Structure 1
Amino acid sequence: MNAAASNSVRRIVVVGGGVAGFSAISELRIRGYDGAITLLSPEGLPYDRPTLSKGFLVGTEDAAKIRLAPEAWYAERDVELLPVRAVALRPATGTVELDGGRQLAADRVLLATGGFPRRLGVPGGGLAHTLRSRADSEALGAVLTPGARVAVVGAGLIGAEVASAAAVLGAEATLIDPVDPPLVPAVGEAIARRLHAMHAERGIRTIVGAPVEIEADDDGVGRLVRLADGSTVLADAVVAGIGILPDTSLAEAACLEVDGGVIVDRAGSTSNPAVFAAGDASRRRGPDGALLHRSEHWEAAVHSGQVAAAGMLGQEPPEFGAPWLWSDRHGVHVEAVGTLDERHASGARTLLRAVDGVPQAAFLLAADGHLLGCAAVDLPLMVRAARRIIDRGIIPDPDALADPSVDPRKLTR
């Protein structure tokens, strides 16, 4: 760490105990910062969220297993962890107000406040479960019992994972989404169709439609989901898996620039140079001044925390390669790197690698032959190779990409 940063930054307060805040703390110590760090994590020890719709939901992982680090990790790095919520940020005085009135002084503040689940904007939408916290997952797991009927609205990553977990637990799931198939921008149409077809193969009913109302049934226990076409789905529980909204309340109250997220530059700095933001709540402004889309994926949150750590210390932020995402459902692992969204790539074409007519991987090639993105099912080596190809600007051999007999590791040579 440079001497100037060491002298001027003696206390950092991180607001939010998700993976973005956690990665920022880790990066601060790696970069040599030896000043005070306070982490405000209302839920206590930070834990990993992706498993809440997977292993934790079905009971193969417990609260201890999903912690990002054991309690001793924080003490070893001299991090003060407070299980309390921040209620106000006052950049002018360099303080953060906690629930209860305590004021914390800070030279730098990192807002890693994450987001909260979107609610169904229909009458009775509040009757649906959402999934964001460990408590949410525990509440949902309690109703996903053998024979229970669950209607899942939204067949994207979270909704599909919840439906898969419901099947594992013996519940009868109905998956509702207005798009057929879901996830095309993320993984391409061929892989999206393969993934969506897995639901019916596991006994999950899929409906193309949208709810217009949710109401309690006559006994007040079940839920009746009324769809736009007039049909209904009766369920013991309804789950809304339709994305999140960024939690920008502290930033807005502090008069920071907010537009669909807390606006940050390439170093993670907000419109106030003493305040930084990372994770799901942040939204970066590109070099040309345009606002980029927020990313709600795990790796993006990790990277943004690392960027903010460097920024808070006045150091050059790290650079990362093509974005990556992953999901598990019905015993298969799907990954995607780069972009598969043809809407943002004029003249691009899709190429498939298939075995016996079943697509194993999809590639989006630019008009000039460069690889823009790849999605694959249970082919981690392929995704790793695709990421190297994208990051190095290699123009791959299309025939080799499509040939299932070609070892992915040979594609980067």
Structure 2
Amino acid sequence: MTERVVIVGGGIAGVSTAGALRAGGFDGDVTIVDPGEFPYDRPPLSKDFLLGVKNGEQIALQPPRWYDDQRVRLVNRTAVTALHPAEGKVELSDGTVLLADRVVLATGGAAARPPIPGIGSERVHVLRTAEDADRLRPALAPGADVLVVGAGLIGAEVASTALRLGCEVTLVDPVAVPLTAALGPDLAAWLHGLHARHGITAVQAGVEAFADRGERIEARLAGESAARSYDAVVLGVGMVPHTGLAERAGLEVDRGIVVDAGQVTSHPHVLAVGDPARTRHDGVLLPRTEHWEAARHDGARAAATLLGAEAPAPTAPWFWTDRHGRHVEAVGHMDAAELTVVRGGFDDPSFAVFGLRDGFVVAAAAVDDSTAVRAARRMIDRRVPADAGKLADPAVNLRGLMRG
């Protein structure tokens, strides 16, 4: 019988697990252990928080009273140092030992730092935590020359924010058009092209080395004979999951904490959710999913497992990004589409791209058109047959198409 649940990590996955447990009627003890001051949302870090538009309190995942109202004990400024699943014990960095019938690992990850010479310079920044953002913000002073390495979601958002702060920005990535698999080649090219259209210098290249030179830092790019000089560098090249705690506890780890469809690890008393969790499906290890909503869904599935309830029905994966004043959403698997259709035009204030296969929508991506993505998601989840011509016609109401 599960009476005590300890959740290790207070990100969206951990807090969602706690909330779903209470919503599902769990009446036992729920404890969240988090090394920070309070659990906060990460997407604003590269945007409003870095800009200084929102403070720490405004990006909190829940207000302080929520933990009291939900009877969730928050143990903050403390790390978990060891798990003993067979004994039902969780050791904390302050020497405290918590008793737990089940443990949920929501340990998140760290910003990736590739083995590039000179990457340890103080002028090389990452952005994964609020502390990272606080350290980076002074470097993004008006007129500063900033190199952003990696043009994926985080890198592109930081580049956009740095530009708004008055920096001269160079964005470098070895991939010609990032996010092609998620958005399709045409929309990905349009989105990446926003950088140049707003005054950012976009370069297709890898970075071979960094070197401090007085008050600046030099970056040597692949294929260039001369180094480029900057005031600061920001890395946006992915994340590394925190799996050390799981490894020390003897859990199965393979580039992530291996879990089943119910988020259960190789030990039945331990679950894992969010960025570090990697699902095995039909004997095959799937890639980890690092998006915000995926972490929230992991929490809901973990809570269902702990409650002995039916897990929520799976939905098509969804993510969003904001840059240069444009809001982009995507759902499904665009790389699985055999046909794409555009609703509207790329010069319109808003437009959408739908991906179809065998007469069904398998993906969609939209710029400043959340309605189109919501409609596509319902069509994907419900397997509603789709007419490409009607999807492409802005005059056709998408609500009618959702009914088939």
TM-score, normalisation: structure 2: 0.96
Task: Please report how far the alpha carbon of residue 100 of structure 1 lies from its aligned counterpart in structure 2 after TM superposition.
Answer: 2.3
C-alpha separation between the residues in 2 aligned to 1:78 and 1:356?
A: 49
C-alpha separation between the residues in 1 aligned to 2:139 and 2:396?
A: 46
In the alignment, structure 1 residue 389 sits paired with structure 2 residue 383:
no
Specify the code of the residue in structure 1 equivalent to 2:235: A
3-state SS of paired residue (1:48):
coil
> How do 1:239-278 residues align onto structure 2 when only pairs under 5 Å count?
239-278=234-273
C-alpha separation between the residues in 1 aligned to 2:340 and 2:91?
A: 52
Listed one character per residue, the Cα deviations across residues 109-129 of structure 1 (whole Å, up to 9, x for unaligned) are: 000001111103210122321
> How do 1:212-361 residues align onto structure 2 when only pairs under 5 Å count?
212-217=208-213, 219=214, 221-230=215-224, 231-286=226-281, 288-342=282-336, 348-355=338-345, 360-361=351-352
Specify the code of the residue in structure 1 equivalent to 2:343: R
Contact 1:120 1:240 in 2 (8 A): no
Task: Please report how far the alpha carbon of residue 408 of structure 1 lies from its aligned counterpart in structure 2 after TM superposition.
Answer: 2.6
Contact 1:151 1:233 in 2 (8 A): no
C-alpha separation between the residues in 2 aligned to 1:52 and 1:299?
A: 16
Matched residue, 1:35: 28
Matched residue, 2:177: 181
Matched residue, 2:13: 20
- 1:113 is aligned, of 107, 111, 124, to 107
3-state SS of paired residue (1:375):
strand
Specify the code of the residue in structure 1 equivalent to 2:242: D
C-alpha separation between the residues in 1 aligned to 2:346 and 2:129?
A: 41
Matched residue, 2:370: 380
C-alpha separation between the residues in 1 aligned to 2:210 and 2:397?
A: 50
Task: Please report how far the alpha carbon of residue 405 of structure 1 lies from its aligned counterpart in structure 2 after TM superposition.
Answer: 2.8
3-state SS of paired residue (2:284):
coil
> How do 1:30-179 residues align onto structure 2 when only pairs under 5 Å count?
30-83=23-76, 84-127=78-121, 128-179=124-175
C-alpha separation between the residues in 2 aligned to 1:374 and 1:193?
A: 16
Contact 1:276 1:312 in 2 (8 A): no
Task: Please report how far the alpha carbon of residue 410 of structure 1 lies from its aligned counterpart in structure 2 after TM superposition.
Answer: 2.9
Q: Which runs of 5+ in 2 are unaligned?
A: none
- Note closer, same or farther for the CA distance 1:356–1:205 as it changes in structure 2 (3 Å cut): closer
Specify the code of the residue in structure 1 equivalent to 2:88: G
C-alpha separation between the residues in 2 aligned to 1:207 and 1:232?
A: 14
Specify the code of the residue in structure 2 equivalent to 1:187: L
Task: Please report how far the alpha carbon of residue 411 of structure 1 lies from its aligned counterpart in structure 2 after TM superposition.
Answer: 2.2
Contact 1:266 1:317 in 2 (8 A): no
- 1:403 is aligned, of 367, 388, 393, to 393
Task: Please report how far the alpha carbon of residue 357 of structure 1 lies from its aligned counterpart in structure 2 after TM superposition.
Answer: 6.1
In the alignment, structure 1 residue 205 sits paired with structure 2 residue 198:
no
Contact 1:85 1:98 in 2 (8 A): yes
Task: Please report how far the alpha carbon of residue 204 of structure 1 lies from its aligned counterpart in structure 2 after TM superposition.
Answer: 0.6
Specify the code of the residue in structure 2 equivalent to 1:328: D
C-alpha separation between the residues in 1 aligned to 2:21 and 2:399?
A: 34
Listed one character per residue, the Cα deviations across residues 128-148 of structure 1 (whole Å, up to 9, x for unaligned) are: 211110011111111111001
- 1:362 is aligned, of 350, 353, 356, to 353
C-alpha separation between the residues in 2 aligned to 1:393 and 1:407?
A: 18
C-alpha separation between the residues in 2 aligned to 1:357 and 1:351?
A: 15
Listed one character per residue, the Cα deviations across residues 369-390 of structure 1 (whole Å, up to 9, x for unaligned) are: 1111001101111001100111
Task: Please report how far the alpha carbon of residue 102 of structure 1 lies from its aligned counterpart in structure 2 after TM superposition.
Answer: 1.5
Listed one character per residue, the Cα deviations across residues 17-50 of structure 1 (whole Å, up to 9, x for unaligned) are: 1000000000010111111111101102111000
Q: Which runs of 5+ in 1 are unaligned?
A: 1-7
C-alpha separation between the residues in 2 aligned to 1:357 and 1:398?
A: 21
Task: Please report how far the alpha carbon of residue 245 of structure 1 lies from its aligned counterpart in structure 2 after TM superposition.
Answer: 1.1
3-state SS of paired residue (2:258):
strand
Contact 1:332 1:378 in 2 (8 A): yes
